[in-house]
Amino acid sequence: MLKPLDPILHSELRLAIMSILIGVESADFVYLRKQTSATAGNLSVQIEKLQKVGYIEVEKSFNGRMPRTTCRITEAGRAAMASYVEALKDYLNI
């Protein structure tokens, strides 16, 4: 029996966000937008979904007068990614 794939992580953009965040301490919105080529609106929605399930933490601040959104992966997010990768390995018979 194959393990179910986490529907939150199975979205291409959300998986891309998580893949970026797992390799860095934190990343700001502008960096994530450039790396994923996502629109600001779509990226914002997907970040909110990841935050809502506890996979990432979002900090909003200002750099002078400019708003700045910084994201970092949580321990729950790391665990979810590890489970997702293990489930994919099952699908690929690795």
CATH code, domain with 75: 1.10.10.10
User: Does a structural domain hold residue 1?
Assistant: no
Cβ neighbours of 33 (radius 10 Å) = 15
Range of the domain at 42: 12-91
pTM for this structure?
A: 0.92
pLDDT tens for the 94 residues of the chain, in order: 888 899 999 999 999 999 999 999 999 999 999 999 999 999 999 999 999 999 999 999 998 998 999 999 999 999 999 999 999 999 998 7
User: Does a structural domain hold residue 24?
Assistant: yes
